[in-house]
Amino acid sequence: MRHSRHTALAAGGLAIAAALALTGCGQGFEEPSGDPSSDGLTTSDDPLTVMYAPSSDAEKQSVEKALTAWSETSGVQVTPMVATNLSQELSQGFAAASPPDLFYLNPESIAGYAANGSLEPYGDQLSNKDDFYPSLVQNFTVDGQFYCAPKDFSTLALVINTDLWAAAGLTDADIPMTWDQLDAAARALTTDGRAGLTFSAEYQRLGVFMTQAGGALVSDDGTTAVVDSSENAAGLEYVKSHLEDGTFAYAADLGAGWAGEAFGKELAAMTIEGNWITGAMSADFPDVGYQVVPLPAGPAGQGTLQYTNCWGMAAESPNQQAALDLVEYLTSTEQQTAFSAEFGPMPSIQSAAEQWRSDNPDLVAFLDASDYAASLPTNVGANEVIADFNSQLESLGSTDPAQILASVQGNLESVVGG
């Protein structure tokens, strides 16, 4: 789930090697039982199952409403399957040769499932394939094949408590556009009982500073680990200095489960979060006023991270043609606009951008960030490396960033090299 901290895994080569070994399991699936259609997809009278992990009740209800509407129109029965641990339940389904027909799939997992033949690469058969943002398509392309339709996406931006901002004597002229200006704002907003800026202790948030300093985890082509660079060190040194002076704080150190909670409880005056925070603020902190602005630029310019999932399709599904029709419905302009209104994600298709801007004028910083957003590595096993990285980042305030980066470099080299 997007709100949750990532579970820390044990460090070291054994954990990485074990993860890599698991990705090779599950080969030799039986052929799908449905008849092939003219485009190679199976067809049958079988109902569809759709597994997903909603981030909120609003998302659960929205997805179920969409599935019901399509089912009534198409005549194909659809059974939603809400997962509490999507990765585990999906793996179990494949291991038992009974995976769902469609499912949420993140970019970090696609290479492993593609490598062992679990996925149907249907992306090029989508009638709206050219409408998806190219950077999102790249997230779900393995060895030149576009596997699955991005269902929506989110970026990270700076969220400011407007009342606390005004109380500190700050104006629109003080909205930070650089690291130095972020320093000044955070200092002005910090009090004995409140941090200036909060975020979770994970690469999925701190990575924005590494990106803004010109760093990355892997090279652009994904073939080389570049973690232990001076740019990444500069990004983490910047964060560490402000963890030490108290103007920045991890959400957990403020007694909150995630940064949105810390922000909503006014334990911090600013946070770095994605557009899903809007639903949490409306539901849990409706009286807290806030403003969304672009993240400040670092030494290398603007930088943020983006997150997405796709609608994965099982290679074993006996009714892939119906599953494809359902995906096209779920990723249509009309339906993605409805999803956005109901639970907050940004549409993954470019044709919906102007409507989204019109409907969400106070949130355009999230969509504008797609022009310079970076994605997490998609190499097989990168998930486990990042989880270990996160466990080390928890002690960033008292640890040399170069030491952390050197450790992660070694782990990621074993993944990229593998």
Q: Is residue 353 part of a domain?
A: yes
Question: What HEC string does 191-256 produce?
Answer: ECCEEEEEECCCHHHHHHHHHHCCCCCECCCCCCECCCCHHHHHHHHHHHHHHHHCCEEECHHHCC
Q: Are residues 318 and 274 in the same domain?
A: no
Give the distance from CA 418 to its chain's centroid. 24
Reported as a single tens digit per residue, the pLDDT across 126-181 is 999 999 999 999 999 999 999 999 999 999 999 999 999 999 999 999 999 999 99
| pLDDT confidence of residue 394 | 97
Q: Is residue 223 part of a domain?
A: yes
Helix pair angle (107-115, 13-23), 10° resolution: 60
Rounded CA separation 90/92 (Å)? 5
Reported as a single tens digit per residue, the pLDDT across 282-292 is 889 999 999 99
Rounded percentage of the chain residues whose pLDDT exceeds 70: 90
Contacts 24+ apart (CB under 8 A), 67-76: 67/326, 70/326, 70/329, 70/330, 74/322, 74/325, 74/326, 76/47, 76/48, 76/319, 76/322, 76/326
Q: Are residues 142 and 65 in the same domain?
A: yes
| pLDDT confidence of residue 222 | 87
Q: Are residues 274 and 324 in the same domain?
A: no
Give the β-pairing of 248-250 and 268-274.
unpaired
Q: Are residues 223 and 295 in the same domain?
A: yes
Q: Are residues 301 and 314 in the same domain?
A: no
Q: What is the mean pLDDT of residues 361-381?
A: 93
DSSP string, 127-145: TTGGGB-HHHHHHTEETTE
The residues that bridge with 76 in the sheet, in sequence order, are: none
Q: Is residue 98 part of a domain?
A: yes
pTM: 0.84
Cβ(258)–Cβ(327) under 8 Å?
A: no
Q: Are residues 181 and 327 in the same domain?
A: no
Rounded alpha-carbon distances, angstroms, from residue 79 to 82, 106, 120: 10, 21, 20
Q: Is residue 236 part of a domain?
A: yes
Q: Is residue 4 part of a domain?
A: no
Q: What is the mean pLDDT of residues 93-113?
A: 94
Q: Is residue 2 part of a domain?
A: no
Rounded CA separation 128/81 (Å)? 26
In which band, very low, low, confident or very high, does the pLDDT at 35 lie, cut at 50, 70 and 90?
A: low
Its domain, for residue 201, covers 155-305+380-417
Q: What is the count of structural domains for the chain?
A: 2
Extract the tokens encoding 217.
Answer: 């985890």
Q: Which amino acid is at 119?
A: L
Q: What is the mean pLDDT of residues 356-363?
A: 94
| CATH at residue 388 | 3.40.190.10
Extract the tokens encoding 308.
Answer: 């997405």
